[in-house]
Every structure is written in C-alpha cells, then in structure tokens.
Amino acid sequence: MKKKINIAIVGLGQIGSYLLNELNNKKKDIETKTGKKISIEAISAKNINKKRKFKINKKIFFKNPLNIFKYKKIDILFEAVGKSNGISKKIVETALKKKIHVITPNKALISKHGDFLSKLAEKNKVNLEFEASVAGGIPILRTLKDGLATNKFKKVVGILNGTCNYILTEMENSDESFSNVLKKAQKLGYAEPSNPKLDLNGYDALAKVRILSSLAFNKKISKNSCLMEGIENIELKDIKIAKQLNLRIKLLGITELLNDQLFERVHPCLVGIDTYMGNINGVMNAVILKSKPVGETVLQGEGAGPGPTSSALLSDLLSILRGNIKYPFAIPFNKRKKIKSYNKNDYINSLYMRFEVKDKPGVLSQITNRLAKYKISVNRIIQTPDKKNKKATIVIITHKSNDLNSKNCLSFFKKNKNILKSPKLIRLYS
C-alpha cells in the first residue's frame, strides 16, 4: 500500500460527524501506528447547510456521493448512511468495483447484502470491513475472525441492542411504564426520536445475529424466517413479577447449531438475577461465545453510540493501513456453506405465562386442563387476587414444552370469557 492514503466519508449524521472529528484529532496517532499518511479528500451529506459543530470544507464536499468517484482518487471509503438498500448499497458496490476498501457500521446492509458484497470485495482484492456493525464497543467480529479462529463454535448468545436493554433496566429501576421509559430513551438519544421501531421489534438485533452466525459457523447469511419478538409488549407488571421470582427480562439474540441445523432467534428471555446476562444493565452489550477447545468466552462493553462505533470503525481503518487484506467473512466466499435451518416450531423451552382472569371458581382448572391437553407441564403457579375488582393474576412457569404447542394453546384462551386479556408468554433462558 502506498504511503499517502486518501479517505472519503459518506454520511455526516451522528456517526459520520463523530468519525470525521476523530480522524482529524487522531491523525498523528494513526500515522504513527501505521506508518501511513492519511488525508480526508471527500465528504458527502444531504445538506451542506445543516447546523453542525464543525465547519465543512466546501472544496471536498459532494452532495451526490457518486460524484466522489468521478473527481477524487480514493483509497478507503467509510459508508455511514445506513439502510440496507438505495444509496448505501450503491455507494459500497461502486467503491468495491473500483478497488476501494470499504468500512461500514451498517448492519442492515451487511445482513442483507453481505454475501454479494463480500464476493465483490474478494474479486477486486480489497477489504470490506464491518466490525462496527455488531456491538460497536466490543471487538466481537475480530474475535471470531482472528482471536478464536481455530475454535469450533456451538452457540453465541448476546444482549445486542442497547436501546432495549436500557428500557428494560430503567423500567425495573424506576417502576415506570414502557411508554414513559421509551420517551426517556428518546430524550437521551438512546432511541430514535421519530421511529424507534427497528430497535424495539427485534429487527436490529436479528441483523446482528445473522452476521454473528455467518462468522461463527462459516456459513452464508441466512435469509430464512426466524423466531423474532421485540419488547414492545413487555409490561411493568411482568418486570415486577420477574423480580419476585429472582429473574430479569432481557432481549437476547441467540444463534446455535441444533442437530447440525442453524437456529437463529431474537426474543425476550427471563434470566436469573445472579447470572452474567442478568447483570448486564443500561445501554451495555454483552456476548457469550461457546466453543471448543476454549469453552466459554465473554465480551462486554458499550454497544452503540458514536463513541463505541467510531472506535470500531477506526480499528478497521488501522487494520487496512497495516496491510491486512483479508476475506470479509474470514474464509473465501466459495468455502462458506449453506446450513439447513432448524424448524422454530420444534423449539423446546420452559415458559412464563401470565393470565389476567375473572376471580371465580374453576378458572384455574380451565387453564391447567387446557395446558395438559397441549402436553404443557406446570412447574410453578403464582396466583394474586384483586378482590376489589374481582380479578386475579395467574402466573404459570412451565417445564420444557414445544414452542408451537404453547402458542396454539395460548391462542385458544382468547375465546375464553373468563380470561380478560391475551395471555403473556416469555421464554426462560437456561
């Protein structure tokens, strides 16, 4: 690689702006550690006149990022636009075809088009780096690619969305409702002000799970339907009951091999208060890797925000500047295999079920009899009466049962007039 490296940054939102500032402030440090001179030759954003904490050099500004390729000689491009399609994909694809190294935090892009883009990068012998796409402050992808490269992975479990983890933690600590805590998260910048849906519904975490799966199991990115549930339906009542049971609710992203089949899933889980995952609070992320011969490896850190994301982006930059040309997913594209997906309906797990019912004789037996018909065995029952309103809350912890059976069973209760609202189901993690 030549001594002087020309850099472009596309996207000057929160991440892109922070990155630009970091590149300017840490220029000497980067050059000392790599022996390369770096120069920011192009930046692009929708609006040059948007109020920012820094002045934009108009000589290197491009409203249309595609014009960068016409007028500038670029060696490394940072894509910080976001979204899986449109200009994000076009920019990255064009850069790779022009033999330009690409660094991106865009998990939506990588989880959807990572196979295509990695093949393109390999063909043109350039890097496609995306360490910042999963748990920004944790070097999880580099750990899978390099640090534990010779290990055989069985399972990866993680708290992968800081927004959801903050909301669940704050609901427990403040005794406030989901909607109130979400507003707090938006004010603090932890959740998108206009549309936080992708964080809350599990999609963000699932995109990260799919990237982790690909690296852990040397497979192509899964496109199959997965078990995905978010936290929008978690109520304060469930948080309080969980605490009474010495449990906490966490949104977990999990990928594992079951009978040599890939099982990817994202959903709320009840975990023990005294477990490692039970003590990951606030906006923190954590990932547990289970492999042979190492065993269990734990990584923890801030997973989102401009600081952790920028840190991961710069680590990718230094890797490229040091001449580390490597396969985006650690092994050649044609060596990455397709793995049959595990049928999510066959998933067996213990469950938390909450029923809001009329407080009258025979209701509990109606519930337990129906559970028995669906081969769901009861481990524990907690019944809390509300005599004033002639209602009761019934919480049932089950032994391990089939996921499809459980869902079918609960759907039946919607027709029961003694059950006042749809039952709540949360899976237990062990």
Would you give the DSSP letter of residue 419? B
Q: How many helices and strands (H and E) does the chain possess? A: 14, 18
Please tell me what DSSP assigns to residue 342. P
Among 145, 208, 250, 424, the active-site one is 208
b/e string for 405-423 if b means 16 or more Cβ within 10 A? Answer: bbeebbeebeebeebeeeb
Helix (H) or strand (E) holding 297: strand 295-302
Q: How many CB atoms lie within 10 A of CB 256?
A: 19
**Alpha-carbon torsion 154, 265, 341, 376, what sign?**
positive
Q: Is 50 known to be catalytic?
A: no
Is residue 15 a contact partner of residue 306, using CB atoms and an 8 Å limit?
A: yes
Sign of the C-alpha dihedral computed for residues 30, 33, 38 and 42 taken in this order: negative
- d(CA 332, CA 328) in angstroms, rounded, equals 8
Strand duo 424-428 + 261-272: pairing: parallel
CA 200 to chain centre: 11
Amino acid (1-letter code) at residue 102: V
Q: How many CB atoms lie within 10 A of CB 32?
A: 10
Q: Phi and psi of 305, rounded to 5°?
A: 100, 160
Collapsing DSSP to helix, strand or coil, 349 comes out as: strand
The residues carrying an active-site annotation are: 208
